[in-house]
Chain A
Amino acid sequence: ILNVEQSPQSLHVQEGDSTNFTCSFPSSNFYALHWYRWETAKSPEALFVMTLNGDEKKKGRISATLNTKEGYSYLYIKGSQPEDSATYLCARNTGFQKLVFGTGTRLLVSP
């Protein structure tokens, strides 16, 4: 994998459903993996910065895991709410403090 890839591209769930997204990235020369949430007409907001293989981080109903050896990270949302509707971006830090972003997963949560 040369770039950061995210799947699915979009997702539509019902309120209360739990869901997860995948971010795949090159496993060589790993520095850090970032997750951002980007709501329409707002600024992208940092959710997690993950650096160590096996890292698990949690923020409320949202959690993320990291596998640097195989080059993937999962983002989980438990009990989705309409306010979770946003585009979720992951980005790989390539060194020199630069981020390479995936195209994002667009989540829509219906009441």
Chain B
Amino acid sequence: SAVISQKPSRDICQRGTSLTIQCQVDSQVTMMFWYRQQPGQSLTLIATANQGSEATYESGFVIDKFPISRPNLTFSTLTVSNMSPEDSSIYLCSAKQGLAANTGELFFGEGSRLTVL
């Protein structure tokens, strides 16, 4: 198993500012992902964080808005840029161990709850 720590756990931000969320895993993992849950919505995948290279973004998400870094196998950051109230969400870091294609469970952090005023 993997234990994932995220910070901040919550924050209140002003419109137009940017915030970086950090994700630290206690063991090496093969894949890291960033999800978002807007109020009343399902968990939605933002991107796959790739070690040492640009993240792979899902449809509807772009690097300029959600820059992601993953400098090593255990750490990643997500920045929410130029925030608006629509960015108020819970942002979750997740990770997968091993190479079992499509069947391995995901481990999640406790989430970062952002409120944008």
Q: Which residues of A contact B (CB under 8 A)?
A: 4, 31-32, 34, 36, 41-46, 49, 51, 89, 91, 93, 95-104
Contacts and interface: CB of A to CB of B under 8 A. Distances in A.
A44 B108 contact: yes
Contacts, number: 57
A34 B104 CA distance: 9
Interface size class of B (residues with CB under 8 A): 20 to 34
Nearest to B37: A101
Contacts of B40: 103
Interface string B82-106: 0000000000100010000111111
21 contacts: A31-B102, A34-B105, A36-B108, A41-B110, A44-B108, A49-B103, A89-B43, A91-B43, A93-B103, A95-B102, A97-B31, A97-B96, A98-B48, A98-B58, A99-B106, A101-B42, A101-B44, A102-B42, A103-B40, A103-B41, A103-B42
Given A43-B110, A43-B111, A49 B41 contact: no
A36 B92 CA distance: 14
Chain B interface helix/strand/loop/mixed:
loop
Nearest to B109: A43
B55 interface: no
Interface in B21-80: 31, 33, 40-45, 48, 58
Nearest to B40: A103
Given A89-B43, A101-B42, A102-B42, A43 B108 contact: yes
B4 interface: yes
A14 to B, nearest CB: 27
Contacts of A99: 43, 45, 106
For the complex of A and B, the 10 pairs showing the least CB-CB separation, nearest first, are A46-B105, A31-B102, A101-B43, A43-B108, A101-B42, A44-B108, A103-B42, A93-B102, A32-B103, A43-B110
Contacts of A101: 42-44
A34 B108 CA distance: 14
Contacts of B41: 103
